[in-house]
Structure 1
Amino acid sequence: MENFAIVASKVTKKYKLYDKPIDRLKDSLSFSKKESYSREFYALNDINFDIKKGESVGIIGKNGSGKSTLLKIITGVLTPTSGYIKVDGKISAILELGAGFNPDYTGLQNIFLSGTIMGYSKEQMESKIPEIIEFADIGEFINQPVKNYSSGMYVRLAFSVAISVDPDILIVDEALSVGDIRFQQKCLRKIEDMKKNKTILFVSHDLLQLKKFCDRLIWINEGHLQDSGDPEDISKKYQAFMAGSTLDNYVEDELNDIQTKSTEIDPIDKSLQMFGDNKAKILGISMFDDKKNKIFQTEMGERVNISINVSYKEVLQNPIIGFSVKDRIGNIVTQTNTFAIKQSMTDTFANKNYIYNFEFIVPPLKRGNYSISPAVASGTQLEHTQHCWVHDALIIKVDDKQDHDLEGFMVLDNVSFDAIQK
């Protein structure tokens, strides 16, 4: 345990479910073990993992998978039915919105309440009050009952208290999805700073955020530990699962057949992973300059064409074709698709190939390597069925003539400046 902040061994949480209220009474009065009016539900079933001190770990899973139950057991809010969790260090957690606050207390009173729960004296908490109030930035509402707070104010106060008590382990459960973007960024900067010497457990549906902040992802599915490992790898598997398919690799003979059908567009590397329901398959992708030359390197301001070769196994009505551009650490820096640009699409024919061309001016991206992930879907931007998605299908390099050396994803282009002395 010396090197571990959290160790979970065979953790199981079981509940009894009743179809009717009367069944609960019957079950409590029954003296027969053979006769039961309930059915068992496993919120968690035989969960095993460990988290090293100083490690940042993300927990993912669809709603109802058991993530929140696991966090409540780690923090001691719930006890497991069997198995155990060992924790080495002081925990500060932001679980359900407003959890740990008395709704009738003012914000200031709840600060002292939280400090008492964490084992701090009134004098110790008084020394932290200015820092908490400054970070929360809720003004005079600090003296109002928290039941009158908006969800954003709840989170501001909860996060400010959580980080002020100098925890060894910080647990954040989806709370940062609430509130304005400025405060979210403020919290993320604080979490980034805390990563240097704290253990952080981060629950979120934002895979990009998790890949940026976490050393490892733990995937919980229907109460079981589905997988654990590198954030990039686990997030790809999870995306495939949520799309309703498993990760697949391209078949060798299909790739050979593709090469005869499309001589200009490079076929997809057979080692690349894809997911979707296989009603469509992306066969190849290439980038061309304005003279139709195939290129792998370009510059901002240049006109290029991304060509995607797609084969359909059945008729699809008004398909959506598009691609995402990611930087070297997996952040999506830009994306487009036919739905977003309001491009009317004709229905496809089964067992036919289509070449889709996207022509555009390279945006002012910073110098570096980028990956392009093409996709085919049906539906809308918000609600769609994924037919085929290929991770990092094309790697390109973007150069910068002006040799900018600035932070950020993109370079501000055509900037004018003026100075007026008064």
Structure 2
Amino acid sequence: MTVISIQNVEKVYKLYNKPVDRLKETFHVARRSYHTDHFALKGVSFNVEKGETLGLIGKNGSGKSTLLKIITGVLTPTTGTVNTTGRIAALLELGAGFNPEYTGMENIYLNGTMMGYSREEMEVKVPAIIEFADIGQFINQPVKTYSSGMFARLAFSVAINVDPDILIVDEALSVGDIFFQSKCYRKFEEFAEKGKTILFVSHDMGSIIKYCDRSIVLNEGALIAEGPSRDMVDLYKKIVSNNFSANEDESVTIDKSNPDSFWKEKLSNQNLKYLEYGNQKAGIIDYALFNDKGEITSTVVRNETFSLKIKVEFYEKINDPIFAYTIKDAKGNDITGTNTMFENVGTGIAEQGSIYEISFDQALPLHNGEYLISLGCTGYEDGEFQVYHRLYDLLILNIISDRATVGFFDAESKISIKRN
């Protein structure tokens, strides 16, 4: 049974260079146009079946939030039709539908009223909502005093406990701690077991693979593909790493024979606030991450082999240069790293004008999340440590996994249980 039907939906916004242009257009005798059309959605069509958990993925600005607002009735499509069957609960934006001046308790009843429940019906649901949110006495405080985490707890608790037929979640869980997120995902599984429908938007590709039966990919307002979540995540990875082409047979290629064809020009994951220093006797002139297919990427599946490649040009003759990388988490903790000296890889004498290409090939058992990669070229001269060139926090590495464990990495424990 189809519970959401989207047919040829377009959403067009009129963009004006100046506010006065809107007024000019409205009253111009010859109906002169002063705007340009921006297509937030371009002829999107798909169906969602009852009991399905559908992932919706795409880069920021691809049209995901616009589409969800149309499905929930917050926005009206410019063209096309949207039909839904059943009661919808949506977490489109953190705290959306909450009055900041009301207490948490008052907002529970307010949201229930918006969904068509009477006060008596909500009184039955309130204990479960309070228990799930678990924000203590803050339930009786104005929500404007809440942290983002408390907002997320209460908003999700209301949405999940009003017994909707369709639950729509748009990145609302990203602010919650790991324990709250785990509790929410258990609710997802309970929903699925009850035959409920979930439309899930997230940049956490591990969760998309784990919880979504299938996914659709949006790019620049258009639906690019739909199918098994793992395949759609692979496509998404190509999009975010600039390896996607509208022609499936095409992809970005690297011309290694042409020194003017730089890998870094294809990057989508460079941190523009990186730190750079060194004595300029050598320079890191190129760098990129490559997946196991040889494509430039910023996203790697846990334990999937990938390569970190760098090119270094030498402006002076240097004996035994050391090439290195480190990976940090979002809090700045060093997670791992190595260099040619640690790995006992001889580098020889780098002549002036020579260019070295170094490849670090590995698989990482890290958790879902974003990490920062730093690069370096160093060495020793007369026993003194020298930094020729360092680029700190240069590249963003996204790790995705369908497993959840505690700590920095996945120990891949194998569990066995004996009962006496």
Both proteins in one fold, TM over 0.5: yes
Please report how far the alpha carbon of residue 198 of structure 1 lies from its aligned counterpart in structure 2 after TM superposition: 0.9
Quickly say closer, same or farther: Cα 1:85–1:72, change in 2 above 3 A: same
* Matched residue, 1:215: 213
Q: 1:103 corresponds to which letter in structure 2?
A: P
Please report how far the alpha carbon of residue 73 of structure 1 lies from its aligned counterpart in structure 2 after TM superposition: 0.5
Q: How many angstroms apart in 1 are the aligned matches of 2:61 and 2:291?
A: 31
Please report how far the alpha carbon of residue 210 of structure 1 lies from its aligned counterpart in structure 2 after TM superposition: 0.4
* Matched residue, 2:93: 96
* Matched residue, 1:278: 254
Q: 2:412 corresponds to which letter in structure 1?
A: M
Quickly say closer, same or farther: Cα 1:143–1:54, change in 2 above 3 A: same
Q: 2:338 corresponds to which letter in structure 1?
A: Q
Please report how far the alpha carbon of residue 192 of structure 1 lies from its aligned counterpart in structure 2 after TM superposition: 1.7
Q: 2:326 corresponds to which letter in structure 1?
A: F
Q: Does structure 1 residue 142 correspond to structure 2 residue 144?
A: no
Please report how far the alpha carbon of residue 62 of structure 1 lies from its aligned counterpart in structure 2 after TM superposition: 1.0
Please report how far the alpha carbon of residue 334 of structure 1 lies from its aligned counterpart in structure 2 after TM superposition: 8.6
Q: Is the 8 A contact 2:215 2:227 kept in 1?
A: yes
Please report how far the alpha carbon of residue 24 of structure 1 lies from its aligned counterpart in structure 2 after TM superposition: 1.2
Q: Does structure 1 residue 155 correspond to structure 2 residue 124?
A: no
Q: Is the 8 A contact 2:7 2:43 kept in 1?
A: yes
* Matched residue, 1:175: 172
TM value normalised by structure 1? 0.65
The correspondence of residues 374-393 of structure 1 with structure 2, limited to 5 A, is: 383-384=394-395
Quickly say closer, same or farther: Cα 1:115–1:335, change in 2 above 3 A: farther
Q: How many angstroms apart in 2 are the aligned matches of 1:127 and 1:180?
A: 28
The correspondence of residues 9-408 of structure 1 with structure 2, limited to 5 A, is: 9-33=7-31, 35-196=32-193, 197-246=195-244, 278=254, 317=285, 332=302, 338-340=325-327, 341-344=336-339, 383-384=394-395
Q: Is the 8 A contact 2:305 2:362 kept in 1?
A: no
Please report how far the alpha carbon of residue 343 of structure 1 lies from its aligned counterpart in structure 2 after TM superposition: 2.6
Quickly say closer, same or farther: Cα 1:275–1:317, change in 2 above 3 A: farther
Q: 2:337 corresponds to which letter in structure 1?
A: K
Q: 1:231 corresponds to which letter in structure 2?
A: S
Q: How many residues align?
A: 315
For structure 2, the residue ranges without an aligned partner over 5 or more in a row are 258-282, 293-299, 309-324, 328-335, 341-346, 366-372, 377-390, 401-409, 416-420
Quickly say closer, same or farther: Cα 1:139–1:279, change in 2 above 3 A: farther
Quickly say closer, same or farther: Cα 1:321–1:64, change in 2 above 3 A: closer
Q: Is the 8 A contact 1:321 1:377 kept in 2?
A: no
Q: Is the 8 A contact 2:305 2:361 kept in 1?
A: no
Q: 1:339 corresponds to which letter in structure 2?
A: T
Quickly say closer, same or farther: Cα 1:377–1:106, change in 2 above 3 A: closer
Q: Is the 8 A contact 1:65 1:222 kept in 2?
A: yes
Q: How many angstroms apart in 2 are the aligned matches of 1:385 and 1:159?
A: 30
Deviations 1:22-69 (A, max 9, x none): 111111212423x11111111111111111111111111111111101
What SS does structure 1 have at the residue aligned with 2:326? coil
What SS does structure 2 have at the residue aligned with 1:32? coil
Quickly say closer, same or farther: Cα 1:319–1:91, change in 2 above 3 A: same
What SS does structure 2 have at the residue aligned with 1:17? strand
What SS does structure 2 have at the residue aligned with 1:70? helix
Q: Is the 8 A contact 2:5 2:82 kept in 1?
A: yes
Quickly say closer, same or farther: Cα 1:357–1:45, change in 2 above 3 A: closer
Q: Is the 8 A contact 2:374 2:393 kept in 1?
A: no
For structure 1, the residue ranges without an aligned partner over 5 or more in a row are 248-272, 282-314, 325-329, 364-375, 392-407, 414-422
Deviations 1:309-356 (A, max 9, x none): xxxxxx9757577989xxxxx972698974334334679999998786
* Matched residue, 1:7: 5
Q: 1:384 corresponds to which letter in structure 2?
A: L
Q: How many angstroms apart in 2 are the aligned matches of 1:105 and 1:239?
A: 42
**Considering only aligned residues, what root-mean-square deviation do their CA atoms show, in Å?**
3.9
Q: 1:32 corresponds to which letter in structure 2?
A: A
What SS does structure 2 have at the residue aligned with 1:339? strand
Q: Is the 8 A contact 1:243 1:275 kept in 2?
A: no
What SS does structure 2 have at the residue aligned with 1:195? helix
What SS does structure 2 have at the residue aligned with 1:80? coil
Q: How many angstroms apart in 1 are the aligned matches of 2:251 and 2:393?
A: 18
